Amino acid sequence: MAKPLQSLPDGGATPATAALEPLRFLIVDDERTNLLVLRAILERDGHQVIQAVDGAEAVSVFERDRPDMVLMDVMMPQMDGYEATRRIKNLAGSHFVPVIFLTALTDETALARCIEAGGDDFLTKPYNRVLLSSKITALLRLRELYRVREQQRDQIQFHHQRLQQEQTLAERIFSKVVHRGCLDNPAIRYLVSPVALFNGDLLLAARRPSGGLLVMLGDFTGHGLPAAVGSLPAAEIFYEMTAKGYSISEIIGEINQKLKAMLPPELFLAVCLLELDVSGGSLAVWNGGIPDVLIRSAQGKTLRRLPSNHLPLGIVNNAELDRTTDLVRLDAGDRIYLYTDGLTEAANSEGEMFGEGRLSQCLAEAVEDPYAFLCATLKRFRGDIEQRDDITLIELTAAACGQSAATESPVSIVPPHPPAHWRVMLELKIDALRQANPLPVVLQLVTELQALNEHRERIYLIVAEMFNNALEHGLLRLDSALKDSSQGFADYYEHRALALAALTEGWVAIELVHEPHASGGRLTIQVRDSGPGFVGQATPDAADDAIASGRGLLLLHSLCKSVIVHPPGNHVEAVYEWP
């Protein structure tokens, strides 16, 4: 691979200059004697010499032999030294080839022209050997500097290109993982600035098997690659656990534990996780480090705030992390707003920030479309200012988020396993009920044993309804009428937690029996509890005195082939058939 060494001039002496290898000089002069003198000086210093007798020849010799340095006479026939230098410098491009003008001229304008034409120095005739050698040495130093700079520039360019390629690749992986959810749900509208996209803001949405909608907004400390790397496990956990029916606090716990183990101490993820239930009637919130969640009533009459009341994720262990969620009741027409601080910190041309005041004012306006109004106001406020911040803004509309649960979620094309015989029995005593949620396990069993992917949502809804009914009404004796008032709704869940903690014994059992039936299968679900049942009440089918539980039963009837409530009411049996 090594090129044959250039033959050295006679004597082959080591160059006397600072150069490590002998240099090749192009000397240009129309006077033979001058050429002879120059050649002698340079060859004595160990350099190689090529020559030309006018500017035009100099350019073609330069093109052919690419010398390292040029000594150029000014006045020559054909093409003068100025023009030849211009062309040579042009040919050399970004490569530094020093040109020293050799001139008998001494007037300042002529010398200035040498520099203008691209010359790097000049030497007046007659030549002084010492002076010429010193100038060459000085220019060689400069040339070395250029060479190093060029090398560094190429390296930087190379690294930059590689970084860009890697970033593009990472973005593709990132968007595959992060953007596979259901942000296109009609209940969600959002604004994500391009700066925020790969930059630390994380916006995820997914549906529960029961149809509820989960939205997660995350904001990483630090931006760019570290944030993106941390986003991946968070997004994975969010999607997987949501699909399996885990609760918000379970999802929060899992992400926190993962990030705590993975991230260095100074990195963390501020997160707000929202769950809009299938009817759009309630909102569960866990907010750790994200600005207040805002709930705007119809026409902007009131603006409720749900402030961050938890630590961001990845800082403390689960044992120290409060994972309780807040529950609020929503009314028809309520809209929920969620944003990262980039929104309130967006600045106008005077450096003034958009601020929370303007945000609240916007949302208080009685406009038809507050989201569009807010976006337009923000745009007007910022004018032509280039966007530096990560801005993420989300609007959720309370009503009608869950209407298309089954059709919209990506349906797996895996067909069910052939209908088989199996029976599963799960009994949870009070201590297990306090600490675990059996629904994801049940759903997992159905998926593993029978691959009923298209029926997951419905089966989940049925089991969840039966289990919650057994636990909340059968065992804990809660009055579901409480749920109907706004305050009562929150109270209800507080009661539920207190009653569950206070209860010393009791159990709920879930039994699933599957058998082939017609062309498909039949799944019989039985849920029993240790409670006394609802003695003395009307028959369940007509139990419209307990509106909520009546609603639950109606739901079961609509999904199942048959529903039987065995007296005294602590044993419910539902049959689900699939084709």
Partner 1 sequence: MPVTATVTGDGKNITIHISGQFNFSVYKEFREAYQRSAQPANTTYVIDMAGTDYMDSSALGMLLLLRERAGGERSEIAITHCNPEIRKIFKISNFDRLFKID
Q: Which is nearer to partner 1, 98 or 342 (CB)?
A: 342
Contacts (CB under 8 A) with partner 1, residues 180-239 = 219, 221-222
The long-range contacts involving 352-358, CB below 8 angstroms and separated by at least 24 positions, are 354/378, 354/381, 354/382, 356/291
Q: Verify binding: residue 308, partner 1, rule CB under 8 A.
A: yes
Q: Which is nearer to partner 1, 74 or 270 (CB)?
A: 270
Q: To which H or E segment does residue 381 belong?
A: helix 370-382
Q: Verify binding: residue 312, partner 1, rule CB under 8 A.
A: yes
Total residues in contact with partner 1, by rule CB under 8 A: 21
Q: For residue 102, with 0-12 CB atoms within 10 Å meaning exposed, 13-18 middle and 19 or more buried, which class applies?
A: buried
Least distance from partner 1 to the Cβ atom of residue 216, Å: 17
Q: Verify binding: residue 315, partner 1, rule CB under 8 A.
A: yes
Q: What is the DSSP letter of 120?
A: -
Least distance from partner 1 to the Cβ atom of residue 265, Å: 4
| Residue partners of 467: CB distance under 8 A and separation at least 6 | 438, 439, 508, 510, 527
| Of the residues 10, 184, 320, 384, which one makes contact with partner 1 according to CB under 8 A | 320
Q: Which is nearer to partner 1, 222 or 550 (CB)?
A: 222
Least distance from partner 1 to the Cβ atom of residue 264, Å: 8
Identify which range of 185-193, 260-268, 505-513, 551-559 contacts partner 1 by CB under 8 A. Answer: 260-268
For residue 567, give the nearest of 549, 543, 542, 540 by alpha carbon.
540
| Residue partners of 404: CB distance under 8 A and separation at least 6 | none
Q: Which is nearer to partner 1, 245 or 291 (CB)?
A: 291
Least distance from partner 1 to the Cβ atom of residue 336, Å: 18
For residue 92, give the nearest of 126, 118, 74 by alpha carbon.
118
Q: Which is nearer to partner 1, 177 or 311 (CB)?
A: 311
Least distance from partner 1 to the Cβ atom of residue 268, Å: 7
Least distance from partner 1 to the Cβ atom of residue 311, Å: 5
Q: Which is nearer to partner 1, 296 or 310 (CB)?
A: 310
Q: To which H or E segment does residue 127 belong?
A: none
Q: Which residue has the tokens 């391009």?
A: 194
Identify which range of 45-53, 56-64, 155-163, 308-316 contacts partner 1 by CB under 8 A. Answer: 308-316
| Of the residues 75, 110, 303, 316, which one makes contact with partner 1 according to CB under 8 A | 316
Between the CA of residue 258 and those of 97, 233, 253, 263, 269, what are the distances in Å? Answer: 58, 8, 9, 8, 11
| Of the residues 77, 186, 307, 567, which one makes contact with partner 1 according to CB under 8 A | 307
> 345 has which bridge partners?
none
Q: Verify binding: residue 22, partner 1, rule CB under 8 A.
A: no
Least distance from partner 1 to the Cβ atom of residue 260, Å: 12
Q: Which is nearer to partner 1, 273 or 290 (CB)?
A: 290
Rounded Cα–Cα distance for residues 113 and 110 (Å): 5
Least distance from partner 1 to the Cβ atom of residue 323, Å: 13
For residue 320, give the nearest of 328, 329, 311 by alpha carbon.
311
Q: Which is nearer to partner 1, 222 or 533 (CB)?
A: 222
The long-range contacts involving 246-251, CB below 8 angstroms and separated by at least 24 positions, are 246/437, 246/440, 247/325, 247/437, 248/214, 248/273, 248/275, 248/284, 248/286, 248/325, 249/286, 249/323, 249/324, 249/325, 250/437, 251/214
CB 462 within 8 A of CB 560: yes
Contacts (CB under 8 A) with partner 1, residues 506-565 = none
SS3 27: strand
Q: Which is nearer to partner 1, 48 or 340 (CB)?
A: 340
Least distance from partner 1 to the Cβ atom of residue 129, Å: 53
Between the CA of residue 217 and those of 226, 285, 338, 339, what are the distances in Å? Answer: 17, 11, 8, 8
Q: Which is nearer to partner 1, 137 or 249 (CB)?
A: 249
Q: What is the x/- site pattern for partner 1, positions 261-300, by CB under 8 A?
A: ----xxxx-x-----------------xxxx---------
Least distance from partner 1 to the Cβ atom of residue 310, Å: 6
Where would I find the H helices in 179-245?
194-197, 224-243
CB 438 within 8 A of CB 510: yes
Least distance from partner 1 to the Cβ atom of residue 221, Å: 4
Q: Which two tokens stand for residue 518?
A: 């017609």
Binding residues (CB under 8 A) for partner 1: these are 219, 221-222, 265-268, 270, 288-291, 307-312, 315-316, 320
